């Protein structure tokens, strides 16, 4: 992978493996997709967009990432206040959108002379990088916080990566890992690396293809590091440059109110996202207090006439339950922030009732159970019991 | 849904909602698919086979079931002793193959005048029926054993069905539920109902389409009630009848040695499957001691020149770990029986090293964690620690 990097903010270019532009902002791959056109001919996976991706698909599990369903979920319209379409990323091989960026990143690492791939994550990204690396017979190092809950550690361990619990600032670890990795030949695929952003942009290509030649009015997605939002924004820019989108869908980003640095900057009219304190939230997957691509995500929301919205845990729980109970889609709490935010945005008139809104559900929620209130009976009393219940 | 039912064993026909033929064997839908041909033009879901299915797709989540990846997993060839392709059903909306049959069954219930749908299950099928019913705004009753572990109860509860814990024989409950359901207007979608079998056959249509105009040499799938095996066998028969398969792939069925009534009947040369005792096994999802379609599944294995094979928990664990660590695919223990059985079958020469074998992984395994052995370090010592590990 020899493509150059570019900075969205100042326009400077740089060469891999630079992690940041000299201006301080994150880089992305300087791709030229101006001859892209619909319809696309290719497999039902992210690799149908091979022409705008920097690497070829790997063999095995990485080859079937993406191609996730866009589900028109009319029963959610009343709750959300608009025409809702759920982009359900839970059907990726490891159950989250992270597989898209992991596939690009692991292939690039294999093509280079890296000794291993690595990531800094305590959740979906850790499982995704470990699984993708395993499928490519590439050693993998996962750096996790020292206080990671044991059940999450065990879930990552299923793919047998080298797991290291690191004491110290988790925010510093994100950047230190790049320096250490460069010296030791470990390609770190953290959440806003240019390779990962390149994979995440395929979410938006899929959504736009589903609406082509039109487009949805708005898209709402959870924001944590800002890497996914960056990828979606990059895709929209590429499609505009190629003449395949007349108007940008408005991009709205959702955070938990307990940890909302991007939403705070949007509310305050700031040009840059500043670090905040992370409070407790059920949406722990997106509780990033110092998002490395936060300012880029903020810019994406502003430039598309969208916005950033924070929601409470109660609102997140309500949205998560509606997704399961009205649409049959079980998502993790962090994913439900996008539906909760949509409800807020329609309440305040930012999104109209007749608009088509794509709500991105970034991961499945089978690890997050409900609370059962079962009835009890015996085989002999089954008929009597059911006749009262149904 | 007014299609007639037929008995594979005696050829008699019957009308819904009969659960069994008068000869005692299970029924399936008497479909006429003789004008079926490749290539198929349709969506990337089970509904691309609409021409051979009894109902139209629902709106919402049920419309995106199937279209699961068939992954060529060369790193597993050495372990398994053949050319392995994994049909990964974990990417269905609720994470298992059950969504296929649930979609057909719930649509049929909605089209009839049923008050509700129901199922007898303590795992994947319960979640699948509850989710599909939720997406169709159809009330749902889930009957579970009285001693179901609380975490499984909570997972089912996410979709908010009416859950009833029933004391008494779980085997009897399977059949009693049909009688009670008929009287109360609850359409029970248990594991070998004709509607469910009709949905499960799409697994085999997808596999055969991927190899068309050829076919894999063999397919290996876990067997519990025998409903899935029945659906796969029915698909193969339909494809032969339509002239789209020159030779049947050999169908091999896998069980846990702790509960292997179908494998025992195959070993002993019996014509019928008899109830056995269920021992403890990590493959609890398929520990069915008295499988309602056991004899039909046994017949499917014999008629296709395949077989039935039981494997130990140690073999299942080894296969599950290889799927995660070499192929990046995390499956539940029950799903790993098929890879474990493949290894046994190649060891004994039933499958040759140069044969293409489709291993069906029926469900994802994110609920079943590994056991982590993490290293520990500090941010300051990160470089030194990683340089020793990579």
What are the pLDDT digits (tens) for B329-357?
999 999 999 999 999 999 999 999 999 99
pLDDT of residue A214: 87
Is residue A334 within 8 Å of A254, Cβ to Cβ? no
Q: What percent of chain B stands above pLDDT 70? A: 98
CA atoms of A204 and A232, how far apart (whole Å): 5
Q: How many helices (H) and strands (E) does chain B have?
A: 12, 14
Q: Name residue B378's beta-bridge partners.
A: A167
B164 alpha carbon, distance to own chain's centre: 24
Count other C-beta atoms under 10 Å from residue A139's C-beta.
16
Q: What is the mean pLDDT of residues B263-269?
A: 98
Nearest CB to B370: which of A158, A164, A373? A158
Enumerate the residues of chain B whose CB falls inside 8 A of the CB of residue A190.
none
Q: Looking at beta carbons, which residues of chain B come within 8 Å of A378?
A: 166-168
How confident is residue B171, by pLDDT bands cut at 50, 70 and 90? confident
Asked which of A262-266, B134-138, B171-175, B331-335 is least confident by mean pLDDT, the reply is: B171-175
Rounded mean pLDDT, A109-130: 95
Would you mind telling me the total number of residues written for chain B in this entry?
Answer: 390
Tokens coding A308: 């950033």
Confidence of residue A16 (pLDDT cuts 50, 70, 90): confident
CB A187, CB A93: distance < 8 Å: no
Asked if A111 is an interface residue toward chain B (Cβ–Cβ < 8 A), one would say no
CA B352 – CA B346 distance, rounded (Å): 6
Task: Compare CB distances from A378 to B166, B366, B375 and report the shortest one's residue.
Answer: B166
| Residues A124/A128/A131/A134 CA torsion (nearest 10 deg) | -130
Q: Which positions 370-389 of A are in contact with B (Cβ < 8 Å)?
A: 370-380, 382-383, 385-387, 389
β-pair type (B5-7, B27-29) = antiparallel
Segment B308-319 mean pLDDT: 98
User: Does residue A36 surpass a pLDDT of 60?
Assistant: yes
Residue A17 has pLDDT above 90, yes or no: no
Mutation site, B138, B146, B379, B388, interface A, largest A CB count within 10 A: B379
Interchain CB distance below 8 Å, A75 and B383: no
pLDDT band at A372 (very low <50, low <70, confident <90, very high): confident
**Are B63 and A75 inside 8 Å of each other by CB?**
no
Predicted confidence band at A207 (pLDDT cuts at 50, 70, 90)? very high
Q: Which residue of A lies nearest to B375 if distances are taken between CA atoms?
A: A164
Confidence of residue A33 (pLDDT cuts 50, 70, 90): low
CA–CA min distance B8, chain A (Å) = 31
Task: Judge whether residue B92 has pLDDT over 50.
Answer: yes
Report chain A residues whose CB lies below 8 A from the CB of B164: 374-377, 382, 385-386, 389
Mean pLDDT of chain B: 94
Quick check: A119 contacting B, CB < 8 Å?
Answer: no
Q: Please provide the size of chain A in residues.
A: 390
A250-256 sheet: strands from edge to edge:
A70-72, A83-88, A356-361, A218-222, A250-256, A307-311
Average confidence (pLDDT) over A146-174: 93
Q: By percentage, how much of chain B surpasses pLDDT 90?
A: 89
A165-199 pLDDT tens trace: 999 998 899 999 999 999 999 999 999 999 999 99
Can you give the pLDDT at residue A1? Answer: 45
What would the pLDDT profile of A271-295 be if each residue is shown by its tens digit?
A: 999 999 989 999 999 999 999 999 9
Task: Check whether B1 has a pLDDT greater than 50.
Answer: no
**Residue carrying the six token digits 């993998």:** A140
How would DSSP label each residue in B336-348? Answer: HHHHHHHHHHHHT
Q: Tell whether B135 lies on the interface with A, counting CB pairs under 8 A.
A: yes
Please check the confidence at residue A141 and state whether its pLDDT lies above 90. Answer: yes
Does the CB of B42 have a partner CB in chain A at under 8 Å? no
Distance from CA of B390 to the nearest CA of A (A): 7
In the prediction, which pLDDT does A390 show?
85
Q: In the predicted model, is pLDDT for residue A163 greater than 60?
A: yes
- Retrieve residue A166's tokens: 């690191």
Count residue pairs from A and B with Cβ separation < 8 A.
Answer: 302
What pairing do the DSSP bridges indicate for beta strands B13-14 and B5-7? Answer: antiparallel
Which of A79, A328, A330 best probes binding to B when mutated, by most B CB atoms within 10 angstroms? A328
B33 pLDDT band (50/70/90 cuts)?
A: low
- Tens digit of pLDDT for each residue in A308-357? 999 999 999 999 999 999 999 999 999 999 999 999 999 999 999 999 99
Nearest to A141 by CA among A92, A112, A170, A106: A106
Of B186, B369, B386, the CB nearest to A141: B386
Q: DSSP readout, B299-324?
A: HHHHHTT-EEEEE-HHHHHHHHHHHH
Torsion sign over Cα A293, B374, B316, B287: negative
Q: Which two three-digit tokens encode residue A347?
A: 């309440």
Q: Is A36 left (phi over 0), alpha (psi -120 to 50) or beta?
A: beta
Give, in order, the Cα–Cα distances in Å from A134 to each of A139, B79, B107, B281: 7, 15, 39, 27
User: Region A47-52: what's the mean pLDDT?
Assistant: 96
Q: Does A77 touch chain B (CB under 8 A)?
A: no
Q: Which of residues 253-272 of A touch B (CB under 8 A)?
A: none
Q: How far apart are CA A192 and CA A235, in angstroms?
A: 15
């Amino acid at each position: 992978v020899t493509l150059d990097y570019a900075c969205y903010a100042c326009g400077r270019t740089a060469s891999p493996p630079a992690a940041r532009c000299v201006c301080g902002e994150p880089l992305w791959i300087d791709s030229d997709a101006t001859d892209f056109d619909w319809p696309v001919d290719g497999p039902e996976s992210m690799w149908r967009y091979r022409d705008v991706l920097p690497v070829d698909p790997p063999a095995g599990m990485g080859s079937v990432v993406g191609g996730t369903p866009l589900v028109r979920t009319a029963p959610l319209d009343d709750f959300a206040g608009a025409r809702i379409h759920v982009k359900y990323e839970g059907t990726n091989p490891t159950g989250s959108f992270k597989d898209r960026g992991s596939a690009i990143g692991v292939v690039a690492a294999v093509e280079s002379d890296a000794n291993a791939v690595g990531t800094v994550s305590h959740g979906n990204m850790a499982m995704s990088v470990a699984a993708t690396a395993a499928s490519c017979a590439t050693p993998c190092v996962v750096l996790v916080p020292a206080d990671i809950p044991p059940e999450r550690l065990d879930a990552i361990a299923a793919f047998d990566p080298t797991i290291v619990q690191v004491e110290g600032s988790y925010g510093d670890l994100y950047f230190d890992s790049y320096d250490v990795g460069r010296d030791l030949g470990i390609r770190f695929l953290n959440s806003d690396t240019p390779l990962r952003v390149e994979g995440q942009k395929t979410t938006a290509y899929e959504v736009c293809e589903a609406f082509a030649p039109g487009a949805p009015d708005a898209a709402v997605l959870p924001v944590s590091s800002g890497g996914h939002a960056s990828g979606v924004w990059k895709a929209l820019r590429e499609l505009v440059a190629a003449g395949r989108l007349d108007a940008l869908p408005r991009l709205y980003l959702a955070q938990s109110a307990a940890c909302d640095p991007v939403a705070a900057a949007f509310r305050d009219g700031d040009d840059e996202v500043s670090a905040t304190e992370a409070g407790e939230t059920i949406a722990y997957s997106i509780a990033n207090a110092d998002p490395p691509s936060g300012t880029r995500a903020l810019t994406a929301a502003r430039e598309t006439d969208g916005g950033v919205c924070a929601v409470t845990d109660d609102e997140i729980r309500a949205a998560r339950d509606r997704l399961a109970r009205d649409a049959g889609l079980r998502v993790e709490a962090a994913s439900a922030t996008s539906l909760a935010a949509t409800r807020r945005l329609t309440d305040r008139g930012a999104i109209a009732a007749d608009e088509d809104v794509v709500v991105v559900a970034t991961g499945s929620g089978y690890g997050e159970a409900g609370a059962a209130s079962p009835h009890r009976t015996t085989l002999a009393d089954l008929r009597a019991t059911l006749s009262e219940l149904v």
